[in-house]
Amino acid sequence: MSLTVDYTNKKPTRTGFGDEILALGRDRPEIFVVDCDIAKSCQTTAFSKELPAQHVNVGIAEQNGAGVAAGLATTGKIPFVVTYAVFGSLRMGEQIRQSICYPKLNVKIACSHGGLTPGNDGGSHQAIEDMGTMRGLPGMTVVMPADYNSARKLVREAADWAGPMFLRFTRDAVPEIYGPDETFEIGKAKLLSEGDDLAIIANGDTLRLAIEAAHALESEGVSVRVVDMHTIKPLDVDEVRRCMTTGRIVTVEDHTIMHGLGAAVSQVVAAEGGARVAQIGIQDQFGQSATYEELLEMNSITVEGILGAAKSLLD
């Protein structure tokens, strides 16, 4: 496998969102940002300064932000509601369900600080169940890019996608995996390497760990299929089926294992059979105040954790 992870060039995926939403806004006056008073953290300050007519700050009032965005969508605008993932999925949950998903409005919920990356902010700010919560809403699309370049490309794709969408970004810097010319399609997984013995399906900030684990396994003679499942809804079921031909799948996510990527993959496998699945992710527990890397370690979301799960399936 020739794919590498560039740790010398690290950026948060929220920066990719901020850069791309500004580029989109310059070219498309129908693009709006609805900020919940955290533009600096979510990287939309430049958008607000350069394109004030396309920017609305509702203050620390996330439910109102969802309502304002829904109203904008009824007039043909394409609003991106911007806040932290824990608030954009849970505090806004009822409004997203009733005012956005139920009428099938073209609103994008763009959230930074997904998963464990809030680190020292503690369990109250760590969105560990956001993608699963959004995945359960009818008509909602759920996406998490793996690095800066994929974030930019997927945000651009999101602007052309009809209907509600939840986009999740990291606060912490993550290494570069993709080049700036890589292409992405929402709902279609990105195959990074072919393999016959085992498949590793990851997304977001855990993709780097999946790649490193695959390199380690291949050095031991194990043929590994590596997949970036950046869209967990709609899930690329055809790619899951291709992974099932190996007979063994490890899913990796910075999210609770209860109803995220691993659960979505397991539903397909349970319905069709033919493979075993091991899930690496956040256990049934809240986070705590610690560094991002320490929090990943506490949940075995590490290269060593992936290797242990893989070898248990290979035995």
Active site residues: 62
Separation of alpha carbons 146 and 202, rounded Å: 9
Judge contact between 204 and 131, C-beta under 8 A.
no
Judge contact between 79 and 167, C-beta under 8 A.
no
Residue 253 has phi, psi (to 5 degrees) of -155, 150
Burial class (CB in 10 A: 0-12, 13-18, 19+), 64: middle
Separation of alpha carbons 301 and 54, rounded Å: 39
Burial class (CB in 10 A: 0-12, 13-18, 19+), 300: middle
Q: What is the largest CA-CA distance in the chain?
A: 60
Q: Which residues pair with 55 in a beta bridge?
A: 33
Separation of alpha carbons 65 and 125, rounded Å: 19
Tell me the residue ranges of DSSP E strands in the chain.
6-11, 31-35, 55-57, 78-84, 108-112, 141-143, 165-168, 174-176, 190-193, 198-202, 224-228, 231-233, 248-256, 276-282
Q: In Å, how far are 66, 73, 81 from 98, measured between CA atoms?
A: 10, 14, 16
